[in-house]
Chain A
Amino acid sequence: MIIDHPLLGPRDAAEFVVKGDASLIDRPDGLAEGAGDAFHDYLHLRDNPAGVHRELWYHEHGDRSWLVVTRNTLTHEVLKVELARDAARARGRSR
């Protein structure tokens, strides 16, 4: 697989490590009501679709950026690559 890095251009997938489902960006509020259950679901339960999937990739052997890669899990086609920072801000995260 080739990951089209938004800053560096096309890079070999071997340069990356995969963290998993992009929902890991949405860390629950530890002080909110029901935080225990929220953290259980956040940490352990995953969407695992056959088809389009958004996931976090880390460019370990590169510029150490976190990316959100949108990929088809049936064909390995890479559909979209964005900086995780931009994806998190788009979801209303300030940092």
Chain B
Amino acid sequence: MHYSALKIFLEGLTGNRGWGRVWREPEPKPAYDIVIVGGGGHGLSTAFYLSNEFGLTNVAVLEKGWLGSGNIGRNTTIIRSNYLLEGNQPFYELSMKLWEGLEQSFNYNAMVSQRGILNLYHSDGQRDAFARRGNAMRMTGAGAELLDRAQLEKMVPFLDYENARFPIKGALYQPRGGTVRHDAVAWGYARGADRKGVDILQNCEVTGFDIADGTCTGVQTSRGAIRAKKIVVCAAGSSSRVMSLAGMRLPIESHVLQAFVSEGLKPVIPGVITFGAGHFYISQSDKGGLVFGGDIDGYNTYAQRGNLPVVEDVCEGGMAVMPMIGRARLLRMWGGVMDMSMDGSPFIDRTHIGGLYFNGGWCYGGFKATPASGYCTAHLLAKDEPHPVAAAYRLDRFRRGVPIDEKGAGAQPNLH
């Protein structure tokens, strides 16, 4: 079924009885060409691009819970392509381009809203760093403007410009950044893949890999054994747990990132705003809630909830940059489990086990990467060579001494 304005009109006349299911619920087949472990954003987008761009449709997505039960439904929905390093920025710019055409390509309303992202700077040194970053962004066509205080004040007059400790001097502005309805991304990709014949198997937990002579030939699941020529694990958050079933240790720790949403308010915040002196970022959802977050908690955890010291830290950041939100009441808060890698950058690579591929280590940048991650993973699976913009995301980059460390923090996952 194709969604269109005409369809809405016709369904409106006929009592909305003809919409049908968005995707099938098939039984697992004994074998597929490709099995994707993990039915989150990256797994589903991989399935979508495999079936829609690379013509591979004998594919299954195995999801332990329900579709989108992990981080695709737990993030703060921000998209941006404002990275600095060569290994990262072209990849995130590809992702931004895919976001821009996403709704047409999968015929689903994901509410892609390019309302702009402002990264505030508070010192001369930080302005210089942002000028450099902005130039790197412009070289990949991402677009960036360095705003001074007068220009910024015209856009967002409500910031605490005269803050005694962290005065706001201006911002790096990416007009193409914005927000996307995150659940709809999972549903749209699932539907787009399903329409091409991809089997999406929910409540199907992988319990082991069939590995013989250094080659992976299938998986054991809670719904029986499934053979496959190629298997890719897209289970960020639980990457270490899943890959340990194949006997692998990863350069990854699992950490929790908390997010918050306030009661619904009238429109106050035009785009996405990030604090440059602490860790705080905020946007306003279409329902009016202020959606915000900050730093990870900093200790290994698989519990999808955090602790109070970080709540306090996030709220302090918010109050330092825009005191007006102090009266808003918090509606909900939650946590999501991140793959924090040793350099803050992800992996899209083969493993040393034949037929077994890995996508993970997204730190807390996984949502914005969803389209490009799926596209590049599909490219790797279909052609057995990395996509040029994802060629640096190799598992052996630490051994070779070429990490992609945006923050320059070294092999300390909780600092990225």
Given contact pairs A20-B414, A43-B398, A76 touches B307 in the complex (Cβ within 8 A)? yes
Binds B, one of A11-19, A27-35, A83-91: A11-19
Binds A, one of B24-32, B79-87, B218-226, B250-258: B250-258
Q: Are A48 and B303 in contact (CB under 8 A)?
A: no
Q: Are B301 and A46 in contact (CB under 8 A)?
A: no
Q: How far is the CA of A47 from the CA of B252 in the complex (A)?
A: 9
Q: How far is the CA of A71 from the CA of B307 in the complex (A)?
A: 14
Q: How far is the CA of A16 from the CA of B43 in the complex (A)?
A: 36
Measured CB to CB, the closest approach of chain A to B14, in angstroms, equals 49
Of all chain A residues, which has the CB nearest B240?
A48
B7 on the interface (CB 8 Å rule)? no
Q: Are A46 and B298 in contact (CB under 8 A)?
A: no
Q: Given the complex, which residues of A lie within 8 Å of B250, measured CB to CB?
A: 45-46, 48
Q: Are A40 and B307 in contact (CB under 8 A)?
A: no
Number of interface residues of B (CB under 8 A): 24
Q: Are B302 and A71 in contact (CB under 8 A)?
A: no
Q: Are A73 and B302 in contact (CB under 8 A)?
A: yes
Q: Which of A12, A37, A44 has the most CB of B within 10 A?
A: A44
Query: B241, B299, B303, B342: which contacts A18 (Cβ < 8 A)?
Result: B299
Query: B251, B302, B411, B412: which contacts A74 (Cβ < 8 A)?
Result: B302
Measured CB to CB, the closest approach of chain A to B393, in angstroms, equals 15
Q: Given the complex, which residues of B lie within 8 Å of A71, measured CB to CB?
A: 299-300
Q: Given the complex, which residues of A lie within 8 Å of B252, measured CB to CB?
A: 46, 48
Number of interface residues of A (CB under 8 A): 27
Q: How far is the CA of A44 from the CA of B249 in the complex (A)?
A: 10
Given contact pairs A17-B298, A40-B398, A46 touches B253 in the complex (Cβ within 8 A)? yes
Q: Which of B241, B302, B307 has the most CB of A within 10 A?
A: B302
Query: B251, B301, B414: which contacts A73 (Cβ < 8 A)?
Result: B301
Q: Given the complex, which residues of A lie within 8 Å of B309, measured CB to CB?
A: 12-14
Q: Given the complex, which residues of A lie within 8 Å of B411, measured CB to CB?
A: 43-44
B38 on the interface (CB 8 Å rule)? no
Q: Which of A43, A44, A48, A53 has the most CB of B within 10 A?
A: A48
A7 on the interface (CB 8 Å rule)? no
Of all chain B residues, which has the CB nearest A1?
B307
B399 on the interface (CB 8 Å rule)? yes
Interface set, chain B 304-355, CB cutoff 8 A to A: 307, 309, 342
Interface set, chain A 47-95, CB cutoff 8 A to B: 47-50, 53, 55, 71, 73-76
B413 on the interface (CB 8 Å rule)? yes
Q: Are A44 and B342 in contact (CB under 8 A)?
A: yes
Query: A14, A18, A45: which contacts B414 (Cβ < 8 A)?
Result: A18
Q: Are B303 and A44 in contact (CB under 8 A)?
A: no
Interface set, chain B 239-268, CB cutoff 8 A to A: 240-241, 249-254
User: Which residues of A line the B interface, CB within 8 A?
Assistant: 1, 12-14, 17-21, 37, 40-41, 43-50, 53, 55, 71, 73-76
User: Which residues of B line the A interface, CB within 8 A?
Assistant: 238, 240-241, 249-254, 298-303, 307, 309, 342, 398-399, 411-414
Could you list 14 examples of A-B contacts with CB < 8 Å?
A13-B299, A18-B298, A19-B412, A20-B300, A20-B413, A45-B250, A46-B250, A46-B251, A48-B241, A48-B252, A71-B300, A74-B302, A74-B303, A75-B303
